[in-house]
Amino acid sequence: MTASWEELVSTALVGADRRAVPPESLLEQAAEQVVRMRAGRRPGRSRPPAPAAAETLPPVPGAAADRLARMLAGEQSRLLTEWLETAAARRVRVPAGMLPGLLDLGARDRSIRACLGTVTGTRGRWLAGLNPAWSYLLDEPAHLPPDEVWELGTSGDRRAWLAATRARDPAAARELLEGGWSAETPEDRAAFVALLADRLSMDDEPFLEAALDDRRREVRQAAADLLTRLPGSRLALRMTGRAARLVRRDGRGLRAEPPKACDSTMERDGVRARPPAGTAQRGWWLQQVVAHTPLSFWAAHLGSPAGDVVRLPLGDWAREVRMGWIRAAILQRDPAWARALFAVEPLTDLLAVLPPEEQSNRAADLVRRQPVDGQMIMMLGGVARPWGPRLTDAVLKKIAETVEAQPWNAGELIRLAGERLDPSAYARAEGVPELTATLRFRFEMIKELS
């Protein structure tokens, strides 16, 4: 009888000779187990599974499939996510022989799962039902007929359908949630609440206020984050009352005094009592109160616009208050505060709040001013592709300067530019072979999928 995978691993670690197992037998059994796992189910006395349903999506063109195989083998593997995103947008499926490798990747990389839900087709979903390691795919949309989605769809289907309903009729989507709220799983409740961010209004406030009493912390947190964006909500009013007591104008600066305790009402409003490791407890509470206070409150309370407020001296708790404002700008998607805070601390998450063209232009200004370092790379990583003309010019110039003066320091910037520049710009990068090769690869990749 073939040993289990765990037994084989244990034997290999201890030593085949100590377990009186011939090394060649150990390898043969391991190979057999790998085949069984990749097939999805161990053979047994049960009846064979039903065949997969017929495919509904067309296959990718042959050249695109060949390129995918090369990428899975290691060529330009950093571009795999873009290939999958493009293929999913085109609604085409990959060859069946590549499904195990892609599903294994998805088990390790959550960011590609939504794309896999499309490009692996019905056979990918069939395999996911046979192998627990691939079952994550069943949570991605399966594109059922609209009249069956809410009752029969996967979690992914239902989220996609609710999002579409919300965009079309916000009240209908909210009423649908209210009708079956108690029957939803905790995971689905948290995901559904987050979807109400689209077309959020005070009409949603009673439902979200009630969600603050949910047993699941993620549900309460999602509801609190949305209520923060409604200055007239009860949560927003409670938070502004706390913030007014904790942060005040003091001469030419500000004075902050963190809460002395985190009571049950604060926890209900989304303030987590236990801080992350290395964070002062009271400072953590202060940061969260500031983060959940509507940004519109501060100008009137402190008597200055955002651009001036963020530069005021803050004393001992400056970092906590500023981090709270940063979190608030991100949660509330407030461009004015994001601009003001980015000017003080150019964080990627703040850049993401701004419109795409402004993101690109502000990043270009930063690239021109500072040398290549980790902060620049992190900031550029938050600018969506394709980068705009000003940022493209700035990055290409910075690469040329760095290659000439500090060639050892240019590698990561070259790799990031290869992934984010418009691939049609490959002719402009002829002086940097690695960049030219990546851009040309992407140019041909997208052409094959179009």
Distance CA 49, CA 183 (A): 30
| Other beta carbons less than 10 A from residue 428's beta carbon | 16
Distance CA 292, CA 259 (A): 14
Higher pLDDT, 152 or 71: 71
CB 199 within 8 A of CB 226: no
pLDDT band at 142 (very low <50, low <70, confident <90, very high): low
Distance CA 341, CA 348 (A): 11
Least confident of 42-56, 204-218, 313-327: 42-56
The per-residue pLDDT for 144 is 57
Q: What is the DSSP letter of 48?
A: P
The per-residue pLDDT for 322 is 94
CB 448 within 8 A of CB 59: no
Tens of pLDDT, residues 232-287: 999 999 999 999 999 998 888 899 999 999 999 999 999 999 999 888 999 999 99
Tens of pLDDT, residues 150-169: 777 777 888 888 998 999 99
Tens of pLDDT, residues 327-384: 999 999 999 999 999 988 888 899 889 998 899 999 999 999 889 998 899 889 888 8
DSSP 3-state of 59 = strand
Taking CA atoms, 123 is separated from 53, 83, 214, 331, in Å, by: 7, 20, 38, 39
The per-residue pLDDT for 4 is 79
Higher pLDDT, 56 or 207: 207
Contacts by 196-199, CB closer than 8 A, 24 or more apart = 196/166, 196/226, 197/226, 197/229, 198/163, 198/166, 198/167, 198/170, 199/166, 199/167, 199/170
Taking CA atoms, 125 is separated from 19, 64, 157, in Å, by: 40, 22, 13
Alpha-helical regions (H) of 348-425: 348-351, 356-369, 374-381, 389-405, 411-420
Distance CA 57, CA 244 (A): 57
Q: What b/e string do you get for 271-309 counting C-beta neighbours within 10 Å, with b at 16 or more?
A: beeebeeeeeebbbbbbbbbbbbbbebbeebbebebeeb
Whether 12 has a pLDDT exceeding 60, the answer reads yes
Residue with tokens 């706390």: 242
Question: ∠ CA 259-263-264 to the nearest 5 degrees?
Answer: 150
The per-residue pLDDT for 336 is 94
Residue with tokens 């699941």: 216
